[in-house]
A = this chain, B = another copy of it.
Amino acid sequence: MTDVVPQDIVDAQGRIAGRVHRTPLLSSATLDRALGHRIVFKAENLQRIGAFKLRGAMNTLLRLREEGSLPAEVCAFSSGNHAQAVAYAARELGVKATIFIPKQASAIKIAATRACGAEVVVTETRQIAEASVAGLIDTGAAFIHPYDNPYVIAGQGTACLEALQAGVEADAVFAPCGGGGLMSGTFLATRLARPEAKVFATEPLIANDAAQTLRTGEIVRLSDTPMTVADGVRTLSVSPRTLHYLKQLDGLYEIAEDEILYWTQWLTHLLKSVIEPTSAMNMAGVVRWLKTQDQPRTVLVILSGGNIAPETQMQIWTRDYLQRFPSL
């Protein structure tokens, strides 16, 4: 197992510079007043393809090219943003991409992946999508794992590194935990650029394989795709590589669906930006942590993405959560 070290995030940043957006930092004076703390959002929803995932895919493909081992074809499985990320990065570098997407994925994500020039194979289940890559690897295609890959992890960490380099004096950093790629990179970037800051993960309560894994010490694998509204973290399990970093976090908050919806409405309203439930989920963890603090804190939140299917929008806006103002 290749370990990832903080310097890998710096190398990734140099490698992908100019190929990914340096996304802005957002904040809301209304929110800060309501909570009595400062919350700074790294807006990866405004990243190319609408999510941080491009950072890891781009770093991995560029690293393969550096090594002289980038084949004529790459492949991946994904029901979401990683699909578009690999498709986009492959087109940029002039190689073919084949992406296996389970049919449960939203039509808009399938269309967007095809629009990036990838060949998309729609499979019956997530398990079949995962299994399908094996055949392609046999023909020489490079498989880009969505999180269990050191260069993917290093790439994802550049979002947090950029924010800390921009001068965010974070006392704590929050990011969502699916397979743990973003979380691992975020942890490493924080240790490098702001070692005194705490690092927390958030995870949906109904998809809490990482929390169960941390409690038992053994990787817990969900048997079926959990139907949380936070569709960016519907992964079935973390990997030994990401678990190594997850164990070093200052905490992991498990968030109920209701809280995810509450914060999706409020962040959308306050930031006037399209925020995936997976990203908004962090705020429920932030509030729980801030309740334990006795002085004003600065919190950095990694807004992972902004790709939302119409049916998910319907789910988000079914109830009116804007009636209840945010508070600690």
Contacts and interface: CB of A to CB of B under 8 A. Distances in A.
A270 B274 CA distance: 10
A71 interface: no
A322 B265 CA distance: 21
Nearest to A29: B48
A313 B310 contact: no
A314 to B, nearest CB: 5
A108 interface: yes
Interface in A145-196: none
Q: Which residue, A265, A268, A310, has most C-beta atoms of chain B within 10 A?
A: A310
Contact of A311 (B46, B314, B320): B320
A78 to B, nearest CB: 19
Interface string A288-317: 000000000000000000100111011011
B322 A272 contact: no
A311 B323 CA distance: 12
B107 A323 contact: yes
B317 A321 contact: no
Nearest to A46: B272
Given A322-B108, A323-B107, A272 B314 contact: no
A19 interface: no
Interface string A262-292: 0001001100111000000000000000000
A310 B320 CA distance: 6
A50 B30 CA distance: 12
Contact of A317 (B50, B115, B273, B314): B314
A114 B7 CA distance: 50
Contacts of A306: 272
A105 B39 CA distance: 30
A318 interface: yes
Contacts of A323: 107-108
Interface of A: 30, 45-46, 50, 107-108, 111, 115, 265, 268-269, 272-274, 306, 309-311, 313-314, 316-323, 325
Sorted nearest first, the 7 A-B pairs with minimum C-beta distance are A313-B317, A310-B320, A272-B306, A272-B274, A108-B322, A314-B317, A310-B317
